[in-house]
């Protein structure tokens, strides 16, 4: 059976239909922007501040598909190999950037960065068959498990700092944990990911404003943020698809509806925060291109999960607020390209056959019971 990562890599070929010209054109143009930002002097898809672009690498692997000689794959692998220089081979985990690695490495080893890089390593292993990428993925998963995982459910944001549940970083880490579980058919890892979603929801959900950040005393510590809704939304979509829990689908829908009702700015992009006024309206807030692209991708994935076209329409509307700045996006075009890909390729990974992973255990238990009954 194909692994989850393989299915993600082959998403282009598993579309439900041909790409529409508008979505396809946007996807190709944005991909070209990303490709033009590739710089061998920096290490590939790496920013001027020496931070690897996980989205650009993901896009490159997606575009290369199963073609080993595709230039996109070569650029993705060069970038991943550079990124591996940020891996702490002694303590485990990735520093988020060269600056963090050379400074306070513990503070820089964040759950969100390690989650995204765990998924990239799994994708690289699936694309190339190289065992070294899988070995590094195990190191990152071990770091998340040993250092950042909270036994009650969820992940702390970084190795050093507060222990509060942050929905955004947890959404990314849980998404990666589900991918890691599916790649190994590991039911224990899957169950922790689901428990983490439950804990974030129980701790942070407010039916009026959505997911909010609270401190250890239960007090609200931040305004309602777009990124918190989006990243947990993507985790809920993936959980619903891979594990089939109705609650995860319901939560993803609630977050999608919330984005459209409270965060969308007059059908032209999403606010970074949604603070309610006394009269019930929402205070004005800025718009961030990267956060909007991630929101657009979440809504497109939600449309695929539910079959509701209104989510995809809202996803595509968000691009209208940033289309005029396309030529200035550079590597940041990658998140928009991934969103644009989801507009026309209506594909999510299929649920793994979780039962197969424990079948031998069940057979052994059944045999043991049979023998015991016969002996009596």
Query: Which one has a higher pLDDT value, 347 or 299?
Result: 299
CA dist., res. 315 & res. 310, Å (int): 9
More confident residue, 179 or 91: 179
- The dihedral built from the CA positions of residue 43, 44, 47 and 48, taken in this order, carries a sign that is positive
Q: Pick the range with the lowest mean pLDDT from 3-17, 124-138, 277-291, 314-328.
A: 3-17
Q: Is residue 372, in this structure, part of any structural domain at all?
A: no
Rounded CA-CA distance 197/211 in Å is: 12
Split at pLDDT 50, 70, 90, the class of 140 is very high
pLDDT band at 317 (very low <50, low <70, confident <90, very high): very high
Cα–Cα distance, 111 to 90 (Å, whole number): 18
Note the pLDDT of residue 276.
80
How far is Cα 8 from Cα 58, in angstroms, rounded to an integer? 10
Output the pLDDT for position 216. Answer: 75
pLDDT of residue 364: 44
Q: How confident is the model at residue 3 (pLDDT cuts 50, 70, 90)?
A: very low
- Given a cut of 60, whether residue 265 has pLDDT beyond it is yes
Of the candidates 131, 135, 1, 12, the residue with the CA atom closest to the CA atom of residue 67: 12
167 vs 360: which has the higher pLDDT? 167
Provide the mean pLDDT of the chain. Answer: 86
Cα–Cα distances (Å) from 154 to 96, 173, 192, 282, in that order, read 20, 8, 8, 30
Mean pLDDT of 163-178: 94
DSSP 3-state assignment of 44?
Answer: strand
| pLDDT of amino acid 127 | 94
pLDDT tens-digit map of 89-124: 888 899 887 765 544 555 579 999 999 999 999 999
- The enclosing domain of 185 has a CATH number of 1.50.10.10
Q: Are 354 and 185 in contact (CB under 8 A)?
A: yes
Across 320-331, average pLDDT = 92
- For residue 52, give every residue at least 6 positions away whose Cβ sits within 8 Å of its Cβ, in sequence order, or none: 43, 44, 45, 46, 79, 82, 83, 86
What's residue 368's pLDDT?
41
Q: What percent of the chain has pLDDT over 90?
A: 69
Question: pTM (2 decimals)?
Answer: 0.87
Dump the DSSP string for 194-232: HHHHHHHHHHHEETTTEE--B-TTS-B-S--BHHHHHHH
Residue 1, pLDDT > 60, answer no
Residue 110 sits at φ, ψ, to 5 deg, of -90, 155
Best CA proximity match to 111, nearest among 77, 155, 66: 155
Can you give the pLDDT at residue 53? 97
Is residue 4 predicted with pLDDT exceeding 80?
no
Picking from 54-68, 124-138, 204-218, 245-259, which range would have the lowest pLDDT averaged per residue?
Answer: 204-218
Domain count of the chain? 1
Higher pLDDT, residue 146 or 92: 146
pLDDT(70) > 60: yes
Q: Does the pLDDT value for residue 193 go beyond 70? A: yes
In a domain? residue 261? yes
Q: Is residue 273 part of a domain?
A: yes
Tell which wins on pLDDT, 234 or 208: 234
pLDDT band at 155 (very low <50, low <70, confident <90, very high): very high
In a domain, 366, yes or no: no
Residue 363 lies in a domain: no
Check residue 366 and give its pLDDT. 42
Residue 52: DSSP 8-state: B
Q: Which domain holds residue 54?
A: 4-351
Strands 210-211 and 205-206: antiparallel
Nearest Cα residue to 242 out of 183, 307, 182, 191: 182
Per residue in 27-67, pLDDT tens? 999 999 999 999 999 999 999 999 999 999 999 999 999 99
Domain membership of residue 364 (yes or no) is no
Please indicate, yes or no, if residue 359 is contained in any of the structural domains: no
Q: How confident is the model at residue 161 (pLDDT cuts 50, 70, 90)?
A: low
Q: Tell me which of 41-50, 146-155, 161-170 is least confident.
A: 161-170
- The DSSP result for 157-203, as a single string, is SBSSS-----HHHHHHHHHHHHHHHHHHT-HHHHHHHHHHHHHHHHH
**pLDDT given at position 162:** 66
Q: What's the whole-number mean pLDDT along residues 123-148? A: 95
The reply to whether 308 falls in a domain is: yes
pLDDT for res 357: 53
Number of H helices, E strands in the chain: 16, 2
- What the block records as the tokens of 114 is 């390690």
Does 5 have pLDDT greater than 50? Answer: no
Distance separating alpha carbons of residues 177 and 257, to the nearest angstrom: 25
């Amino acid at each position: 059976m194909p692994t989850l990562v393989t299915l993600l890599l082959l998403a282009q070929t598993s579309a439900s239909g041909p790409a529409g010209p508008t979505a396809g054109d946007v996807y190709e143009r944005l991909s070209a922007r990303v490709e033009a930002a590739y710089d061998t002097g920096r290490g590939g898809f790496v920013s001027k501040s020496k931070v690897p672009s996980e989205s650009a690498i993901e896009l490159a692997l997606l575009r290369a598909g199963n073609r080993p000689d595709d230039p996109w794959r070569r650029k993705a692998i060069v970038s991943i190999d550079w990124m591996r220089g940020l891996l702490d081979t002694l303590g485990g985990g990735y520093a988020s950037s060269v600056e963090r690695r050379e400074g306070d490495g513990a503070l820089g080893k964040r759950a969100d960065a390690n989650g995204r890089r765990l998924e990239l390593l799994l994708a690289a292993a699936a694309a190339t068959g190289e065992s070294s990428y899988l070995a590094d993925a195990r190191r990152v998963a071990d770091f998340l498990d040993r250092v950042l995982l909270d036994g009650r459910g969820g992940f702390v944001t970084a190795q050093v700092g507060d222990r509060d549940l942050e929905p955004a970083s947890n959404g990314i880490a849980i998404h990666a944990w589900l991918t890691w579980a599916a790649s190994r058919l590991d039911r224990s890892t899957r169950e922790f990911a689901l428990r983490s979603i439950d804990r974030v929801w129980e701790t942070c959900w407010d039916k009026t404003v959505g997911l909010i950040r609270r401190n250890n005393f239960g007090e609200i510590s931040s305004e309602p943020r777009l990124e918190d809704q989006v990243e947990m939304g993507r985790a809920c979509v993936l959980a619903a698809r891979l594990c089939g829990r109705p609650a995860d689908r319901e939560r993803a829908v609630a977050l999608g509806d919330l984005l459209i009702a409270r965060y969308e700015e007059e059908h032209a992009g999403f606010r970074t925060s949604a603070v309610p006024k006394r009269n019930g309206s929402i205070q004005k807030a800025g718009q961030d291109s990267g956060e909007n692209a991630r929101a657009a991708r979440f809504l497109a994935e939600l449309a695929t999960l539910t079959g509701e076209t209104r989510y995809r329409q809202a996803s595509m509307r968000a691009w209208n607020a940033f289309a005029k700045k396309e030529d200035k996006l550079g590597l940041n075009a990658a998140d928009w390209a991934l969103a644009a890909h989801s507009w026309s390729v209506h594909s999510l990974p299929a649920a793994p056959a979780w039962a197969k992973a424990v079948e031998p255990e069940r057979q052994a238990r059944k045999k043991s019971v049979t023998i015991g009954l016969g002996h009596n």
